């Protein structure tokens, strides 16, 4: 498959043949990676060596995170504006202007230059270092509608 590369090396050692294989797999699901590693260890025992995982974010995943954070910020802004309108007996109308003011990203988007070797990190530390965070600040202007009284609605 496209997310897997296999490198094989055959050699002859005295009267036997020996094969070494290196399998590199890109997983997008951490749970699936753990299941595959556990299965390999269970079936192959000590004849298999599993290297620590290398975590990274694809450009598509980072772009999706940015969009999700922006959409969530707009939704939060709308909910807050609705609450303020309710306080004053008004209703919130359609948005007139929405502008993304600032986006911040931090965490595992770039390689961390740690004082100790990345191989010395625990799996939990690797996950923590690879976790990406983002925040977005938006500016929004909404139409405000006055609430009509019941008498006008009945006419």
What six digits make up the tokens of 53? 């995982």
| pLDDT above 90: percentage of residues in the chain | 45
* Of 30 and 110, the one with more pLDDT: 30
pLDDT digits (tens, 9 = 90+) for 122-150: 878 888 888 899 999 999 999 999 775 54
pLDDT digits (tens, 9 = 90+) for 86-111: 999 999 999 999 999 999 999 854 44
* Of 99 and 31, the one with more pLDDT: 99
Long-range CB contacts for residues 65-69, cutoff 8 Å, separation at least 24? 65/105, 65/132, 65/134, 66/103, 66/105, 66/134, 66/136, 69/103, 69/134, 69/135, 69/136
Contact between residue 93 and residue 144 where contact means Cβ atoms under 8 Å apart: yes
How many C-beta neighbours within 10 Å does residue 78 have?
A: 16
pTM of the model as a whole? 0.66
């Amino acid at each position: 498959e496209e997310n897997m590369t296999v490198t094989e090396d055959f050699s002859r050692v005295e009267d036997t043949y020996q094969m070494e294989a290196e399998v590199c797999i890109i997983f997008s699901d951490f749970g699936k990676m753990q299941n595959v590693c556990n299965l390999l260890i269970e079936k192959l025992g000590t004849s298999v060596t599993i290297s620590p995982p290398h975590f990274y974010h694809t450009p598509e995943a980072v772009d999706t995170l940015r969009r999700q954070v922006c959409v969530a910020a707009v939704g939060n802004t709308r909910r807050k504006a609705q609450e303020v309108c309710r306080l004053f007996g008004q209703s919130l109308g359609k948005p007139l202007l929405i502008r993304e003011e600032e986006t911040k990203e931090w965490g595992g988007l770039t390689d961390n230059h740690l004082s100790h070797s990345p191989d010395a990190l625990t799996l939990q530390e690797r996950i923590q270092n690879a976790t990406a965070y983002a925040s977005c600040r938006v500016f929004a202007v909404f139409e405000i509608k006055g609430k009509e009284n019941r008498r006008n609605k009945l006419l």
